[in-house]
């Protein structure tokens, strides 16, 4: 495959994640984007409520029951934007929906290693929330440009300028609205296109299940139709221009500004505009630095990073899917590549594109694409696959756990299934698993960023392995990385226990920060290093 063909395919691709605080409408927006791309005929709108469909990106029974996403999912579809030079050659959208709940920060962080841009969803009534702030800091740290969507504008909320000021003051990111709402929050009539001066009027559909019809009007027609609401939108838009808050592509890509859209994913208002902005402004895949810090061009031989491993998506097959983000070159199904972590060959015969829970075979893929490898038992998050000269990308760090519990099967006769389930969930990174000789294999210690991760473990052990389990919390609140030389002394201390994690890291668990401070003071020679915090 020539570098010209690869370069052309790369320019078509946009790979992004949707991030937000819980209940800001991420999965509903994911569904709305798929609807506008004509990948589905009807949106599942609100999941978790009687009589309504669950969204295509939520496949786990626990997600459907609670109406929250607890696992990242990948959707790929084509979209022909209005401004595209050749409508016969659509853009390829790789959209990764992420867990919103803070307990699953680690999964979201893995996703953010695999995307080129992020859509930050903010609830119009709630404004910036703690998880939104944390996720933005991760985007800033990784140099990921952010598009901001003020969602739920069909419900009462803050004023546009209040939300813009809050974002600028609290996270230091300057919003540059491209589309400004006509009508206050709770009275969403349409959008002013700040770059053309046109008005886009929306019409509701029953339950928001279909694409909302749009009528594009001139400024004069909008004035005649909307009166004071149009005048107010124009005046506030002009104020933003006077303050220098118009879009600048260089500042956006540099992470200093954020294009903004006001929308209602529930009603499918503003969704087409978001897709158009993603195609027009979000960056295509670019070079990625390897473990030595050397950027790898997208036209180099094939390479990819595994960012997630997931089992249990298809209960009839019990298979294991590894999601890889292609970094460079062309991927061809069936090619034999090298697993950088082991140096062993890896066959890619069973490669699939994923659309929620549905799959289709992938024959070729290019940088930016997310491809699922079936039954990839040797792969773990952070692993590198490559063809040709060796390349390896930096590992994905594990977050510092803050919750610790033991897990055991309720009956001894299910021990074999229990071990199999634990091995699977551990390899996926659902939780960190800690072991030591004292506790043995029958009652491993689970370490998590948030307690809901334990609920996922027990639910999946029951659903996928038919094993009833009991979670018993331990009296530890924080962990530090240590070494074998320090372990003997630490094990003699009250309120401390030393474990080995699957990746070989030696972790010391402490009952509280005061116990840690005392030991650090009394034994300054011991190795006690902080782990990566979820807010870093």
DSSP letters along 49-82, please?
STTSPPPTT--SHHHHHHT---S-EEEEEEE--T
Residue 95's closest CA among 110, 113, 111?
A: 111
State yes or no: 100 annotated in a binding site.
Answer: yes
CA distance 430 to 497: 22
439-459 per-position pLDDT tens digit: 887 888 999 877 888 888 898
What are the C-alpha distances in Å from 313 to residues 216, 309, 356? Answer: 42, 11, 9
Say what the pLDDT of residue 49 is. 37
Say what the pLDDT of residue 85 is. 66
State yes or no: 99 annotated in a binding site.
Answer: yes
Q: Above 50 in pLDDT, residue 55?
A: no
Lowest mean pLDDT among 95-104, 228-237, 425-434: 95-104
Domains 3-281 and 288-386 share a fold: no
Residue 153's closest CA among 262, 268, 23?
A: 262
CA distance 144 to 146: 6
Domain 403-522, CATH number (from 1.10.10.10, 3.40.710.10, 3.30.70.3280, 3.40.640.10): 3.30.70.3280
118 contacts 146 by C-beta, under 8 angstroms: yes
Say what the pLDDT of residue 221 is. 97
Token digits for 64?
């459907």
State yes or no: 348 annotated in a binding site.
Answer: no
Say what the pLDDT of residue 67 is. 44
Report the pLDDT averaged over residues 247-268: 96
179 contacts 193 by C-beta, under 8 angstroms: yes
Residue 284's closest CA among 18, 6, 30?
A: 6
CATH superfamily of 288-386: Translation factors (2.40.30.10)
- The pTM of this model reads 0.81
263 contacts 277 by C-beta, under 8 angstroms: no
Q: Above 60 in pLDDT, residue 533?
A: no
68-126 per-position pLDDT tens digit: 443 446 788 889 887 666 767 899 999 987 765 554 566 777 788 899 999 999 999 99
Contacts of 270 (CB under 8 A, 6+ apart): 149, 153, 179, 191, 202, 261, 262, 263, 264
Q: Above 50 in pLDDT, residue 54?
A: no
Return the CATH number of the domain spanning residue range 3-281. 3.40.50.300
Within 378-474, residue ranges assigned H as helices are: 415-428, 452-465
306-321 per-position pLDDT tens digit: 998 876 555 554 567 8
343-371 per-position pLDDT tens digit: 999 999 988 876 656 778 899 999 999 99
Domain ranges of the chain: 3-281, 288-386, 403-522
Say what the pLDDT of residue 61 is. 52
CA distance 280 to 258: 14
Contacts of 84 (CB under 8 A, 6+ apart): 90, 91, 279
Strands annotated E in 219-287 = 257-262
State yes or no: 287 annotated in a binding site.
Answer: no
């Amino acid at each position: 495959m020539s570098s010209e063909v690869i370069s052309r395919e790369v320019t078509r691709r946009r790979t992004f994640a949707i991030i937000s605080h819980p209940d800001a409408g991420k999965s509903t927006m994911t569904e709305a984007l798929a609807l506008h791309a004509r990948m589905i005929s009807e949106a599942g709108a609100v999941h978790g409520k009687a009589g309504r469909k669950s969204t295509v990106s939520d496949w786990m029974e626990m997600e459907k029951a609670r109406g929250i996403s607890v696992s990242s999912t990948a959707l790929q579809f084509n979209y022909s934007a209005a401004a595209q030079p050749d409508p016969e050659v659509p853009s390829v959208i790789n959209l990764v929906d992420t867990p919103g709940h803070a307990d699953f920060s680690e999964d979201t962080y893995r996703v953010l290693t695999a995307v080129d841009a992020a859509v930050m969803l903010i609830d119009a009534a709630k404004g910036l929330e703690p998880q939104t702030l944390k996720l933005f800091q991760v985007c800033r740290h990784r140099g990921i440009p952010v598009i901001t969507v003020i969602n739920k504008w069909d419900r009462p909320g803050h004023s546009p300028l209040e939300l813009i000021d809050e974002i600028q003051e609290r996270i230091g990111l300057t919003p540059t609205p491209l589309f400004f709402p006509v009508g206050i929050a709770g009275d969403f009539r349409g959008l002013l296109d700040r770059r053309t001066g046109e008005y886009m009027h929306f019409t509701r559909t029953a339950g928001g299940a279909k694409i909302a019809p749009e009528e594009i009007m001139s400024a004069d027609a909008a004035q005649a139709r909307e009166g004071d609401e149009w005048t107010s939108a124009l005046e506030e838009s002009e104020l933003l221009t006077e303050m220098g808050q118009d879009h600048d592509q260089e500042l956006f890509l540099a992470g200093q500004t954020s294009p903004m859209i006001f929308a209602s994913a529930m009603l499918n208002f503003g969704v087409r505009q978001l897709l158009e902005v993603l195609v027009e402004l979000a960056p295509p895949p670019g070079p990625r630095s390897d473990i030595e810090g050397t950027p790898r061009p997208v036209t180099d031989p094939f390479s990819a990073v595994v960012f997630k491993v997931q089992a249990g998506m298809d209960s009839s097959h019990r298979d294991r899917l590894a999601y890889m983000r292609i970094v460079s070159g062309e991927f061809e199904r069936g090619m034999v590549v090298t697993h950088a972590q082991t140096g062993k060959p890896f066959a890619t015969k069973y490669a699939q594109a994923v659309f929620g829970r549905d799959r289709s075979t992938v024959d070729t893929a290019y940088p930016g694409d997310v491809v699922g490898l079936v039954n990839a038992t040797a792969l773990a998050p952070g692993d590198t696959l490559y063809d040709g000269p060796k390349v390896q990308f930096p590992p994905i760090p594990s977050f510092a756990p803050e919750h610790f519990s033991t897990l055991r099967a309720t009956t001894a006769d299910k021990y074999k299934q229990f071990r199999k389930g634990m091995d699977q969930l551990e390899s996926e990174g659902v939780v960190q698993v800690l072991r030591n000789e004292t506790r043995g294999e029958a009652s491993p210690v689970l370490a998590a960023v948030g307690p809901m991760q334990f609920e996922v473990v027990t639910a999946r052990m029951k659903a996928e392995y038919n094993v009833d389990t009991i979670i018993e919390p331990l009296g530890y609140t924080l962990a530090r990385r240590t070494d074998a030389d320090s372990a003997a002394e630490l094990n003699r201390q009250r309120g401390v226990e030393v474990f080995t994690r699957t990746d070989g890291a030696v972790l010391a668990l402490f009952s509280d920060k005061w116990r840690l401070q005392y030991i650090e003071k009394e034994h300054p020679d011991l190795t006690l290093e902080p782990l990566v915090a979820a807010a870093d």
